[in-house]
């Protein structure tokens, strides 16, 4: 029996959700729609009476003050166009799961619950409009079904699985057939790799089984194997001459600098799921940043939510398990003001992608109780088909439990958390391939849907087990699922798994699907046999699924899988982990200088400043930030929004992760895809400098700062992409050595290209995100960017060149840019940062803002309006190269620069600290409420702060 329950707002009470939908319908330009009504639908499945169904509706599902319910179907309305959105069978439905639990709490028996949403569009609505609203706004066909009538889903019947071992003949295949196998099986492996597999099974004297090929493809995927970064590279110039050969790129760049710097406070780097550094005697802090680009392109909400869910599990699976204390989020989207007709086929509108992604991060992070404290958003047309979603998590762990641990032979393999379903099959291989306009349908099974509360429960219980020391090793189930997790943990000693013991969401999964499923919220533990009962009780006590599925340690380092006692996989760990042939990659790079055109001189630059403030990369992201809980856990020190009205831009976030300590962690980021196009080497230096600058600007300690790299690039099998990749990797090495800030973790996503239905391939700009964490001794020494008091002195720290390539100035002027980007001098910038740090520690600095997009003009405006004060500056007093003209002094984007506010009392002390450095005393804070910047002859900028702030705020006033 299925009872349908409809719940809607009472007419006397508004319906905010319907209102939101209505606003978005109007945004689509459908003026004939005059209103929207909505209802929540529940389908109660079970053998109980109508009275019981009514009781569930009345006591549990309805809020009696503001809602009313109807048991049964109210049918199609005669005054409105009906749209119902139902989840597809098998898609995770957390609300249904919670409601089932609650019905049981009421003492009733229920077989299941399903949920759906119903919308009624009022006014004159054509069928075509109804289809557009359903498809563009309300439903995602990847996970949902649209019905234009009152729909009650049929009872779910699950197909039983007929166990059968499938062999895939490979030993006699020629090259062509091998590649066909790779393509048809979504293995995304090249011919060298396919041959290595063929040779392995030839010498094993048997054909592989399907799950064995699946596992090798997953382990050797770009996503899990980082083949490109570990490859040997041959770099050629445009004439085809070899200019450089680099063996093992990673070892010789990013990782190399960390080894050479060899900082004693780096406790566990590049070996574990997150990079770990010292916090204090008793604690260590770790940080990991991941991307979840391809899933977010297809299902923005689910993709971004599981992106957060996934990166949170990285610290949880680092050392013996860290507790997450802060999240970061950095996004790259297509232009949100793009006319809907211009969006290519197979691509979601950037506005929808942005709303979905923000919603996903919000709902997962907020539910987990992790403050989202830092981020950035960039826009470019080339992100249309390939949006980027970076999510980071900072975690805390006990100092004595922070190193990478190995399981011991005989340890039980325990799978904890979410049940396994068909969700996320082939995520690892899919993210290693190119997106096409067909992907939306072909790879929908690669989308995972998350349930934050399941992960929170896993976290709560694992922390208890960690305190009691009940397990010997832990890792997360991420890309590649159990295959990857057990494969990595058992690398040294082998493992034996009974795959039929893994708890499933529904019947019918094949053994291969169970093994490689990327179902969310799962961790894998290695537990000494004596502790198994105790640890299982901890999980059971808080209603967390935990199952022993095998044990670590086999003869000859084997990985062996069984289904109902029958062997289905038997692979050598050595072949799995070391059998991947290290490829040689071809790279082409040569920079040919192209100067930027000289932008027109203007009477003043008021409009230019307003245009830059309103440009999407610079404009206020308050709409996003406020939707995140950035204060949960009680450690907030510097928030993402600052100033006298608490809505100005902050440079970096600061949190105190240990409540009874004044020690704190500064978290910041840097990124500039616009420069990435023009000069990948300088772009990477700029990214590192910006991340560090932001951290130092609030009071970070450069000598205790670690950084992380996240490369998102186009297809690096193409030599030009590989060429820019190598440049950026080399810059990472040089930057880390110069600033003496080690990289402690990193990740790359290297196939961000999109093929349109016309066959055109669009690659994203070269996009390197650098994240930073800095450990400081006293949170109470931190400062913010808002100007504090009229009369205080303003100094500009750092040198300004005349180079305008890649600047936002040229962007808003609509001018084509050359590649004459400002060159970074990391050694000089380090000196300057150390001096600024000393000044901040001495209490000499009242406010400080780094100069980035829009240069001095934007920094001054932001500081002034955040403080509700004015500023009067004279650019003649800046430390500038003689080539810098007035536009450059005002708007150039040189790295390593800060605008700082100093009180008269600390004036002398500040001058002493910054002696011999490029520092210019350029003006004062005023109480006029105007930003005034004077040039050699005339006033370049004179604007009321209200105007500047309004321009900055209006772009994303959604």
Partner 1 sequence: MARPKALVLRTAGTNCDRETEYALTQAGFEARRIHIARLIENPATIAEFQFMVIPGGFSYGDDVAAGKILANQILHHLGDTVNAFISVDKLVLGICNGFQVMIKAGLLPWANVSPDGANRDATLAWNDCGKFEDRWVHLRCDSDKCVFVSKGDIIALPIAHGEGKFVPRDDAVTQRLLDGDQVALRYVDSEGNPGPYPVNPNGSVDDIAGVCDPSGRLMGLMPHPERFIEVTHHPQWTRGGIQQADGMILFQRAFEYLK
Task: Identify the residue among 25, 39, 57, 61 touching partner 1 (CB under 8 A).
Answer: 61
User: Which residues have a catalytic role annotated?
Assistant: 223, 292
Residue 801: CB minimum distance to partner 1, A: 32
Q: Which span (176-184, 258-266, 623-631, 798-806) binds partner 1, by CB under 8 A?
A: 623-631
Strands (E), 865-938: 870-874, 898-902, 919-926, 930-934
**What gap in Å lies between CA 449 and CA 480, rounded to an integer?**
16
Cα torsion 606, 612, 614, 620: sign: negative
Applying CB under 8 A, does 756 fall inside the site for partner 1? no
Q: Which is nearer to partner 1, 106 or 242 (CB)?
A: 106
For residue 395, CA distances in Å to 48, 276, 325, 472, 637 come to 47, 9, 5, 19, 17
Applying CB under 8 A, does 626 fall inside the site for partner 1? yes
Q: Which is nearer to partner 1, 847 or 887 (CB)?
A: 847
Task: Identify the residue among 1, 66, 468, 598 touching partner 1 (CB under 8 A).
Answer: 66
Tell me if 923 sits within 8 A of 888, measured CB to CB.
no
Count of all residues that appear for the chain in the document:
958
Task: Identify the residue among 27, 31, 63, 564 touching partner 1 (CB under 8 A).
Answer: 63
C-alpha of 287 from chain center: 13
DSSP lists the bridge partners of residue 925 as: 871
**What gap in Å lies between CA 907 and CA 899, rounded to an integer?**
15
Applying CB under 8 A, does 14 fall inside the site for partner 1? yes
Q: Which is nearer to partner 1, 283 or 367 (CB)?
A: 367
What angle, 0 to 180 degrees and rounded to 10, lies between the N-to-C axes of helices 606-614 and 945-954? 30
**What gap in Å lies between CA 317 and CA 330, rounded to an integer?**
22
Looking at residues 279 to 318 of the shown chain, list those that interact with partner 1 (rule: CB under 8 A): none
Applying CB under 8 A, does 54 fall inside the site for partner 1? no
Q: Rounded to 10 degrees, what is the CA torsion of 349, 355, 356, 360? A: 160
Task: Identify the residue among 641, 770, 811, 948 touching partner 1 (CB under 8 A).
Answer: 641
Task: Identify the residue among 234, 525, 569, 638 touching partner 1 (CB under 8 A).
Answer: 638
Applying CB under 8 A, does 631 fall inside the site for partner 1? yes
Applying CB under 8 A, does 828 fall inside the site for partner 1? no
Q: Which tokens go with 461? A: 């219980």
Task: Identify the residue among 30, 53, 99, 519 touching partner 1 (CB under 8 A).
Answer: 99
Neighbouring residues of 929: CB distance < 8 A, sequence distance ≥ 6: 868, 869, 870, 944, 945, 946
Task: Identify the residue among 352, 367, 439, 849 touching partner 1 (CB under 8 A).
Answer: 367
Task: Identify the residue among 1, 76, 106, 191 touching partner 1 (CB under 8 A).
Answer: 106
Tell me if 257 sits within 8 A of 743, measured CB to CB.
yes
Residue 466: CB minimum distance to partner 1, A: 15
CA-based nearest residue to 362, from 293, 315, 304 = 304
Q: Which is nearer to partner 1, 362 or 426 (CB)?
A: 362
Looking at residues 419 to 458 of the shown chain, list those that interact with partner 1 (rule: CB under 8 A): 451-453, 456-457
Applying CB under 8 A, does 19 fall inside the site for partner 1? yes
Q: Which is nearer to partner 1, 432 or 847 (CB)?
A: 847
Residue 457: CB minimum distance to partner 1, A: 5
Residue 904: CB minimum distance to partner 1, A: 16
Backbone torsion region of residue 917, taken as left when φ is above 0, otherwise alpha when ψ lies between -120 and 50, otherwise beta: beta
**What gap in Å lies between CA 216 and CA 194, rounded to an integer?**
10
Largest CA distance in the chain: 87
Neighbouring residues of 794: CB distance < 8 A, sequence distance ≥ 6: 871, 873, 899, 900, 901, 902, 921, 922, 923, 924, 925
Residue 508: CA count within 13 A, CB half-sphere: 10
Applying CB under 8 A, does 59 fall inside the site for partner 1? yes
CA-based nearest residue to 862, from 917, 794, 785 = 785
Applying CB under 8 A, does 633 fall inside the site for partner 1? yes
Q: Binding-site residue total for partner 1 (CB under 8 A)?
A: 68
Looking at residues 502 to 541 of the shown chain, list those that interact with partner 1 (rule: CB under 8 A): 541
Residue 542: CB minimum distance to partner 1, A: 6
Applying CB under 8 A, does 663 fall inside the site for partner 1? no
DSSP lists the bridge partners of residue 215 as: none
C-alpha of 709 from chain center: 13
Applying CB under 8 A, does 362 fall inside the site for partner 1? yes
Task: Identify the residue among 2, 71, 97, 168 touching partner 1 (CB under 8 A).
Answer: 97
Residue 114: CB minimum distance to partner 1, A: 13
Q: Which is nearer to partner 1, 30 or 56 (CB)?
A: 56
Per-residue burial over 588-602, b = 16 or more CB atoms within 10 Å of its CB, e = otherwise: bbeeeeeebeebeee
Residue 534: CB minimum distance to partner 1, A: 16
Tell me if 626 sits within 8 A of 958, measured CB to CB.
no
Q: Which span (222-230, 249-257, 621-629, 870-878) binds partner 1, by CB under 8 A?
A: 621-629
Q: Which is nearer to partner 1, 94 or 335 (CB)?
A: 94
**What gap in Å lies between CA 853 and CA 862, rounded to an integer?**
12
Residue 150: CB minimum distance to partner 1, A: 22
Q: Are strands 323-333 and 522-527 parallel, antiparallel or unpaired?
A: unpaired
Looking at residues 563 to 602 of the shown chain, list those that interact with partner 1 (rule: CB under 8 A): none
Task: Identify the residue among 95, 122, 177, 877 touching partner 1 (CB under 8 A).
Answer: 95
Applying CB under 8 A, does 238 fall inside the site for partner 1? no
Looking at residues 783 to 802 of the shown chain, list those that interact with partner 1 (rule: CB under 8 A): 783-784, 786, 788
Q: Rounded to 10 degrees, what is the CA torsion of 932, 935, 940, 943? A: 0
Q: Which span (247-255, 589-597, 653-661, 766-774) binds partner 1, by CB under 8 A?
A: 653-661
Task: Identify the residue among 410, 597, 634, 843 touching partner 1 (CB under 8 A).
Answer: 634
Gyration radius of the chain's alpha carbons? 29
Residues engaged in binding partner 1 (CB under 8 A): 13-14, 16-17, 19-20, 59-61, 63-66, 94-95, 97-99, 101-102, 105-107, 362, 366-369, 451-453, 456-457, 460, 541-543, 625-639, 641-644, 646, 656, 659-660, 779-780, 782-784, 786, 788, 847
């Amino acid at each position: 029996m299925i009872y349908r329950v409809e719940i809607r707002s009472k007419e006397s009470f508004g319906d905010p959700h319907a209102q939101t939908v209505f606003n978005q319908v109007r945004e689509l330009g459908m003026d004939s729609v005059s209103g929207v009504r909505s209802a929540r639908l529940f389908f109660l499945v079970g053998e109980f009476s109508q009275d019981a169904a009514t009781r569930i509706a009345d006591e549990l599902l309805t809020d009696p003050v503001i809602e009313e319910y109807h048991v049964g179907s109210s049918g199609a309305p005669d005054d409105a166009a009906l749209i119902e959105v139902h989840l597809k069978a098998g898609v995770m439905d957390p609300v249904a799961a919670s409601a089932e639990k609650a019905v049981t709490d009421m003492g009733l028996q229920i077989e299941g619950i399903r949920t759906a949403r119903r919308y009624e569009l009022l006014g004159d609505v054509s069928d075509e409009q109804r289809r557009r609203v359903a498809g563009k706004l309300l439903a995602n066909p990847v996970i949902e079904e649209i019905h234009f009538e009152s729909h009650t889903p049929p009872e779910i019947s699950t197909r039983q699985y007929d166990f059968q071992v499938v062999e895939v003949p490979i030993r006699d295949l020629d090259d062509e057939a091998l590649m066909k196998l790779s393509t048809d099986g979504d293995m995304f492996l090249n011919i060298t790799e396919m041959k290595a597999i063929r040779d392995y099974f030839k010498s094993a004297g048997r054909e592989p089984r399907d799950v064995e090929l699946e596992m090798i493809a997953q382990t050797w995927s770009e996503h899990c194997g980082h083949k490109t970064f570990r490859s040997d590279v041959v770099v050629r110039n445009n004439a085809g001459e070899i200019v450089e050969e680099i063996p093992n790129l990673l070892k010789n760049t990013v990782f190399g600098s960390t080894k050479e710097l060899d900082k004693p406070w780096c406790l566990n780097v590049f070996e574990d799921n997150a990079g770990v550094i010292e916090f204090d005697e008793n604690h260590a802090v770790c940080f990991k940043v991941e991307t979840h680009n391809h899933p977010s392109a297809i299902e923005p909400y689910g993709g971004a939510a599981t992106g957060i869910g996934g990166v949170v599990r990285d610290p949880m699976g680092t050392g013996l398990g860290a507790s997450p204390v802060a999240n970061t989020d950095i996004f790259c989207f297509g232009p949100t003001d793009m006319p809907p007709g211009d969006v290519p086929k197979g691509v979601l509108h950037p506005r929808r992608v942005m709303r979905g992604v923000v919603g996903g991060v919000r709902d997962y992070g907020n539910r987990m109780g992790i403050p989202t404290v830092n981020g950035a958003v960039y826009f470019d047309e080339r992100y249309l088909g390939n949006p980027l979603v970076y999510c980071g998590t900072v975690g805390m762990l006990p100092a004595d439990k922070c190193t990478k641990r190995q399981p011991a032979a005989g340890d039980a393999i325990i799978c904890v958390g979410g049940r396994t379903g068909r969700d996320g099959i082939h995520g690892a291989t899919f993210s290693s391939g190119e997106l096409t306009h067909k992907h939306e349908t072909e790879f929908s099974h690669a989308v995972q849907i998350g349930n934050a509360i399941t992960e929170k429960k896993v976290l709560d219980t694992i922390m208890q087990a960690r305190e009691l020391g009940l397990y010997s090793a832990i890792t997360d189930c991420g890309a590649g699922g159990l295959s990857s997790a057990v494969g990595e943990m058992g690398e040294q000693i082998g493992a034996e798994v009974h795959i039929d013991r893994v708890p499933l969401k529904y019947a019918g999964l094949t053994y291969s699907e169970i093994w490689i499923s990327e179902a969310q919220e799962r961790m894998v533990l290695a537990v000494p046999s004596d502790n198994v009962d105790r640890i299982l009780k901890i999980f059971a006590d808080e209603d967390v699924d935990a199952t022993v599925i095998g044990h670590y340690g086999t003869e000859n380092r084997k990985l062996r899988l069984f289904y109902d006692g029958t062997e289905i996989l038997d692979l050598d760990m050595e072949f799995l982990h070391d059998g991947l042939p290290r490829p040689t990659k071809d790279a082409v790079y040569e920079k040919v200088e192209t100067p930027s055109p000289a932008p027109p001189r203007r009477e003043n630059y008021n409009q230019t400043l307003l245009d830059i403030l309103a440009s999407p990369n610079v404009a206020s992201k308050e709409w996003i930030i406020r939707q995140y809980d950035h204060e949960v856990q009680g450690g907030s020190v510097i928030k993402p929004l600052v100033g006298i009205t608490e809505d100005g831009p902050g440079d970096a976030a600061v949190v105190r992760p240990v409540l009874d300590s004044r020690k704190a962690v500064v978290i910041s980021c840097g990124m500039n895809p616009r420069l990435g196009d023009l000069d990948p080497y300088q772009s990477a230096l700029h990214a590192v400098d910006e991340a560090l600058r932001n951290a130092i600007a609030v009071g970070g300690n450069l000598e205790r700062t670690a950084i992380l790299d996240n490369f998102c690039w186009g297809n690096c099998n193409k030599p030009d992409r590989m060429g820019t990749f190598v440049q950026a990797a080399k810059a990472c090495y040089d930057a880390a050595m110069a600033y003496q800030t080690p990289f402690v973790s990193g990740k790359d996503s290297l196939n961000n290209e999109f093929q349109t239905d016309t066959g055109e391939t669009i690659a994203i700009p070269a996009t390197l995100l650098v994240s930073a964490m800095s450990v400081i001794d006293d949170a109470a020494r931190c400062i913010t960017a808002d100007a504090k008091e009229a009369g205080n002195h303003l100094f500009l720290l750092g040198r300004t060149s005349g180079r305008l390539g890649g600047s936002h100035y040229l962007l808003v002027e609509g001018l084509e840019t050359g590649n004459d980007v400002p060159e970074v001098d990391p050694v000089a910038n380090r000196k300057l940062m150390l001096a600024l740090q000393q000044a901040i520690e001495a209490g000499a600095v009242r406010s400080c803002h780094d100069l980035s997009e829009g240069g001095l003009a934007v920094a001054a405006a932001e500081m002034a309006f955040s403080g509700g004060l004015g500023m009067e500056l004279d650019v003649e007093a800046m430390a500038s190269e003689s080539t810098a003209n007035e536009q450059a002094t005002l708007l150039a984007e040189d790295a390593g620069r800060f605008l700082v506010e100093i009180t008269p009392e600390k004036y002398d002390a500040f001058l002493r600290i910054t002696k011999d450095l490029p520092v210019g005393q350029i003006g004062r804070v005023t109480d006029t409420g105007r930003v005034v910047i004077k040039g050699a002859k005339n006033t370049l900028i004179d604007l009321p702060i209200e105007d500047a702030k309004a321009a900055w705020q209006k772009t994303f006033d959604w």
